[in-house]
């Protein structure tokens, strides 16, 4: 996932309260890991890293069913404002208006 760069871009364009859907690895790794030419431990680790990143980005896991997992972006900045300053990924520079796109 290269440090979550792709997910950060999704977050940038996703509206507040929007949903991000992942269908495929590492979701449901317990069933499919053998077909992914991987190991169960690696896929478990990938899923845990993904969940940790999304948690630090203040996303909420909305649902998981089969090979699909859905997370929801926060509807406001409350969670972001309560984050510690050294949390990665960092917030945008304060000089950038987060509502400028709207």
Which uninterrupted H or E stretch holds 52? helix 40-56
Please tell me the total count of domains within the chain.
1
Range of the domain at 32: 2-82
Token representation of residue 27: 């979701």
Within-domain flag for 28 = yes
Going residue by residue through the chain, which has 102 residues, state the pLDDT in tens, using 9 for 90 and above. 456 778 888 888 999 999 999 887 777 766 666 677 778 888 888 889 989 999 989 999 999 888 899 999 999 988 888 887 777 777 666 666 766 665
Within-domain flag for 61 = yes
List the one residue out of 60, 61, 49 whose CA is nearest residue 88.
49
| Tens-place pLDDT, residues 50-76 | 899 999 899 999 998 888 999 999 999
List the one residue out of 60, 65, 67, 72 whose CA is nearest residue 25.
67
pLDDT, residue 1, reads 44
Q: How far is the C-alpha of 30 from the C-alpha of 84, rounded, in Å?
A: 34
Q: Classify 65 as helix, strand or coil.
A: strand
Q: How far is the C-alpha of 85 from the C-alpha of 79, rounded, in Å?
A: 12
pLDDT, residue 2, reads 55
Within-domain flag for 48 = yes
pLDDT, residue 30, reads 67
Whole-prediction pTM: 0.75
Q: Environment class of residue 70 by beta-carbon count within 10 Å: exposed (0-12), middle (13-18) or buried (19+)? A: middle
Within-domain flag for 91 = no
């Amino acid at each position: 996932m290269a440090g979550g760069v792709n997910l950060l871009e999704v977050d940038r364009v996703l509206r507040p309260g929007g949903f991000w859907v992942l269908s495929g690895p590492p979701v449901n790794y317990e069933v499919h890991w053998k077909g992914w030419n991987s190991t169960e431990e690696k896929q478990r680790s990938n899923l845990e890293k993904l969940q940790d990143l999304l948690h630090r980005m203040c996303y909420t896991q909305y649902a998981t069913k089969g090979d699909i997992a859905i997370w929801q972006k926060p509807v406001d900045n409350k969670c972001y404002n309560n984050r510690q300053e050294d949390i990665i990924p960092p917030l945008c520079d304060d000089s950038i208006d987060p509502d400028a796109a709207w």
